[in-house]
Structure 1
Amino acid sequence: MIRENISDLIAFAAVAEERSFTRAAAKLNVSQSALSHTIKALEQRLGLRLLTRTTRSVAPTLAGEDLLATLNPCFEMIETRLQALNDSRDEPAGTVRIVAVEYAIESLLWPKLSPVLKAHPGVKVEFVMDYGFTDLAAAQCDAGVRYGDQVSEGMIAMRIGPDERMICVGSPGYYAARGTPATPQALTDHACINLRLSTHGALYAWEFEDAQGRELNIRVQGQATFNTINPVMRAAVDGHGLALIPERLAQPHLDSGALVACLGDYCPSFPGFHLYYPSRQRSSSAFDVVLEALRES
């Protein structure tokens, strides 16, 4: 086989798996027109049509499916062997992509992994911020972070942080002007700072628990809405309303008096952050180093 055909076959496999020239081009870091030209040239050399193209979709032909079934095991064997060679080196190396919310990245991931990056120059970590339940395969991430240890089948969950508590906070100036809510239900009469979830675009319903352990979900209203937690806290410090934020995040402002908590009896603790990753994840020296660094002692 002509050597340059290898890159063309990689390009074909990417388009066939993604079912999209746009997504495959982004995955391969090439332009869509260059990728289209590559596939056309490959089909001309083989004398076969490998992909069926419509205005809305791309799908392998029967010949394309047959070729893809041959290529995938070969590419996987090559990748496994290259990874084994990489792992045989004395120094861990490789890239680990982790998807998490901003608060987890700032409060847990970065403090634990910053020393790792200094100790192991060959290890690279890419942080992807997302508030949704991310599909790791679709996002091309090695692991994700979420509250609790409940994950889908085929995933492993590992605790990386202590139990957490969401608390309701406001500035002294806000309480002086609007009073202090006595119950979660009273929040409907207060200005509150909302958080919009990226998963489905809805506003986060504030979660509390009564003395009998029953869940209370309160929909709040206010002038300001953000899609990450740090601006929510900043707005609360500035007196724009009440906010529901992680207690550990708020603690410096609670200590300084810039924020004051309320409704504490209604704010229960819950399982903290866990790292989740596929049970069939191909381990690498870099991933092993990251796992060990993040594991909660």
Structure 2
Amino acid sequence: MARRNLNDLLAFVTVAREGSFTRAAGVLGVSQSALSQAIAGLETRMEIRLLARTTRSVSPTAAGERLLQAIGHRFDEIEAELDALTEMRDKPAGTVRITCTDHALSTLLMPKLGVLLLEYPDIKLEFDINYGLRDIVADRFDAGVRLGDYIDKDMIALPISPPLRMAAAASPSYFARHPAPTTPNDLTAHRCINFRTSGDGGLYAWEFERDGRKLNVRVDGPLVLNTSAHIVEAALAGLGIAFVLEDEFAPHIEEGRLVRVLEDWSPSFAGYHLYYPSRRQPSPAFKLVVDALRL
């Protein structure tokens, strides 16, 4: 039996996962035309269509999906084994891909892992800024960073930050025009800056708790955003009351640019966790990342 061209199979797996010849070509470091020819050649030799192409997207056919499920993880295992072989080298090497929020990146990951890159120049890090709960296995991430309450139970979860708190705040100019709320329910009469979640696309219900009593409040206002940094900017501009992690507001509150409200309704909760599949065979580079982030 003639041997299959593994490069063509890898090309198929990459296109199927990326859903785009352009993105897959970038991942593989080849031209889009060469990638298209490789897929066409593979389909011709197998005498079956593997990918359904439209002007906007590429997706596996039924046969392609079966092939992807059968061989996709094999390439992942090969890549993981090659990474593991770097243990035999003097210096760990390889790429570690992590999905996280911009706040976690700026406050935790860059301060701790930037030092790691200086010490181990053969290690590369790739960060995906995303507020949704990415499927790190399907999307081929080594790990993710999310708040502890939002991690699947089948993952290894390592705490990498102390407990966190949320904070509601607005500018002095806003409160010069509106009375400060004294209970979470008062927020329904205020102009609030909403956050749209990446997971289900809904608007985040602000979560409060005091003396064991929990309240989720649906707020309304002139602005909807999906990044916390821009929410802070909107609050500073006097556009309404915002609700983000406490330390994102902290310097502005300390210097009087923002006024905090409802502080007694904001208890602490589980902080950031690094999570990854329990069945994953960690590479030396990934082990160093874990050790650098460990509390």
TM-score by length of structure 1 reads 0.85
Structure 1 residue identity aligned to 2:216:
N
Q: Quick one: distance in 1 between partners of 2:101 and 2:68?
A: 40
TM-aligned CA deviation for residue 138 of structure 1: 2.9
Once the two structures are superposed, residues 179-228 of structure 1 have per-residue CA deviations (whole angstroms, 9 ceiling, x without a partner) of 111111011111111111111211111111133x1221111111122110
Distance 1:227 1:78, change over 3 A: closer
Q: Quick one: distance in 2 between partners of 1:271 and 1:283?
A: 25
Q: Quick one: distance in 1 between partners of 2:200 and 2:24?
A: 25
Structure 1 residue identity aligned to 2:160:
I
- 1:171–1:259: 8 Å Cα contact kept in structure 2? yes
Secondary structure of residue in 1 paired with 2:165: strand
Aligned equivalent of 2:286: 287
Secondary structure of residue in 2 paired with 1:137: coil
Once the two structures are superposed, residues 146-184 of structure 1 have per-residue CA deviations (whole angstroms, 9 ceiling, x without a partner) of 111563243100000010000111112221221111111
Aligned equivalent of 2:6: 6
Aligned equivalent of 2:60: 58
- Structure 2 unaligned segments of length 5 or more: list them: none
Distance 1:261 1:289, change over 3 A: same
- 1:196–1:225: 8 Å Cα contact kept in structure 2? yes
Aligned equivalent of 2:251: 252
Structure 1 residue identity aligned to 2:155:
M
- Structure 1 unaligned segments of length 5 or more: list them: none
TM-aligned CA deviation for residue 55 of structure 1: 6.3
Once the two structures are superposed, residues 230-289 of structure 1 have per-residue CA deviations (whole angstroms, 9 ceiling, x without a partner) of 111111122111111111111111111111211111111101001110111221111011
Aligned equivalent of 1:39: 39
Q: Quick one: distance in 2 between partners of 1:148 and 1:78?
A: 31
Once the two structures are superposed, residues 8-67 of structure 1 have per-residue CA deviations (whole angstroms, 9 ceiling, x without a partner) of 23224546x6496657656545566543421332455x5x414456568534659x9689
Aligned equivalent of 2:178: 178
Structure 1 residue identity aligned to 2:175:
Y
Give matches, 1:130-279, under 5 Å: 130-148=130-148, 151-211=151-211, 213-279=212-278
Q: Quick one: distance in 2 between partners of 1:238 and 1:73?
A: 49
Structure 2 residue identity aligned to 1:234:
E
TM-score by length of structure 2 reads 0.85
- Across the aligned residues of Structure 1 and Structure 2, the Cα RMSD in angstroms comes to 3.1
Structure 2 residue identity aligned to 1:58:
P
Aligned residues, how many? 290
- 1:149–1:157: 8 Å Cα contact kept in structure 2? no
- 2:84–2:284: 8 Å Cα contact kept in structure 1? no
Once the two structures are superposed, residues 83-142 of structure 1 have per-residue CA deviations (whole angstroms, 9 ceiling, x without a partner) of 233221111211111111111111111111111111111111111111111111233211
Q: Quick one: distance in 2 between partners of 1:11 and 1:176?
A: 61
